Amino acid sequence: MNPSDSDAPRYWWVNHRQPFRREVDGGYLWSPMKKPKGAGHAGPDNMTEALPGEVVFSHAEGRIGAIGVITGRARTVPAQPGLSRASSRRRPGAVGWLLPVRFEGLAAPLPTGDHMRQLEPVLPRRQSPLRSSGEGNPAVYLTAVPPAMVAVLQDLLGGQLQRIEEQIAIETDGELGDAAVEERIWQRTDLEYRDKRRLVSARLGQGIFRENLEGVEKLCRLTGVPDRRHLRARHIKPWRLADDREKLDGCNGLLLSPHAAHLFDRGHISFADDGQLLVSKHLNPTVAKAWGLDRAHPPRSFRPEQRAYLEFHRRHVFEKLTRGRRS
C-alpha cells in the first residue's frame, strides 16, 4: 500500500442561516434534504459527507465567531420551527438533515472582510463560501475548506483553532478524530478490503501492526512487564496522523501496560532516544506517585528507526494535549 493522505480529516465552512445562535448554542447544523426548486443552495449533499471529528468554521454576520467539531453522522429529522428560520417556512412533514456539532466561541472572532487579501487567493473555485467583499455566499451553506485556506485561517486565528481542537481531543481521548479517519479508510477506492482491514485493525493495536511491533518491542518500557497478554500495542505517532505505511510499521509502536498506554496517548509521558522516561509537568503528582513513575524500568535505547517517531511524539503530543490541565 502506498502512503496516502486521502483519509485525513477535513475542515468545513458553514454560512449560518439566521438566527445563527440557534445552531451554535443548540449544537447542530440543519439543512433540507432537497434544494428548493430553482435554488443554487449548496449544503444538503455535504451534510452526509461530513464525518465525526472533522472541524467546522462557523461564519455569520461577516465573521468567524466559533469553531465546531462534528460529533456524529447526519441523520434525518422532521423540519421544526425551532431548528432554523428556513425550516419554519417549509411545508408540514418536510424532512431535513441534522448534523450534530459541538461549537466553541472564539475569544477573538475573525472579520473576514478585513482579511480578503490573504483569503481570496485560497478560496475554492467551486462552492466558495465567501464573496470577494468578505460576505458569506448565500448560495453556500456547508462546504469543504481546501488545505491552503485552512493554513491561512489557522494563521489569522492566531492559535485559537489549535487550542479548540486540542481541547476536544483531550475530552474525547481522540476518539472523534480516529473515527473520522477510520470511516474515510472504508470509503477509499484505492485499497483492497484486506488492506482496509489491516489499517483499521491497527487502530486497536491488532493484526499485522501488533505482529510487526512484537518483533521490535518485548516488554513495557515503563513497568518492565513482559507478558504480552497484559500489554497494549500503541502507536508512537498517533494512528490518525500516520500515513498507511506508518500505521502498520512496528517501529511506530510501543508495548505498554494499560495505565502507561493511557499516559502516553494523552501526552503525560514520553521517552528520550536513550529510553529515559519523560514526565509532563502538567501531570498530577498524586497520579505520578500512585502509578510508580518514580520507579520506572531501567531505560533501554531505541532503534534509529524508532527515534523519528519519538521525535514526533515529543514535539506534537508530549505536554501538548495536557497543557493547562492537571489529570
CATH class, range 11-172:
alpha beta
CB-count exposure of residue 298 (10 Å: 0-12, 13-18, 19+): exposed
* pLDDT score recorded for residue 5: 52
Q: Where are the domains of the chain?
A: 11-172, 205-316
Statement: residue 171 has pLDDT above 80: no
- Integer Rg of the chain from CA: 22
pLDDT digits (tens, 9 = 90+) for 17-55: 767 788 999 999 988 886 655 444 555 678 998 988 889
* pLDDT score recorded for residue 42: 54
> Sign of the C-alpha dihedral, residues 186, 141, 127, 57?
negative
Show contacts of 124-133: CB within 8 Å, 24+ apart.
124/149, 127/42, 129/13, 129/15, 129/59, 130/59
pTM for this one? 0.67
**DSSP state string for 176-226:** HHHHHHHHHHHH-SSS-HHHHHHHHHHHTT-HHHHHHHHTT--S-TTT---
* pLDDT score recorded for residue 126: 86
Statement: residue 187 has pLDDT above 90: no
From 160, 63, 154, 56, select the one nearest 112 (Cα to Cα). Answer: 63
* pLDDT score recorded for residue 211: 97
pLDDT digits (tens, 9 = 90+) for 93-142: 578 899 999 999 999 999 999 999 999 999 998 889 999 999 999 989 99
Q: How far apart (Å, rounded) are the C-alpha atoms in residues 12 and 58?
A: 9
Q: What is the mean pLDDT of residues 247-274?
A: 97
* pLDDT score recorded for residue 2: 43
SS3 270: strand
Query: How large is the angle between the packed helices 207-214 and 193-203, nearest 10 degrees?
Result: 60
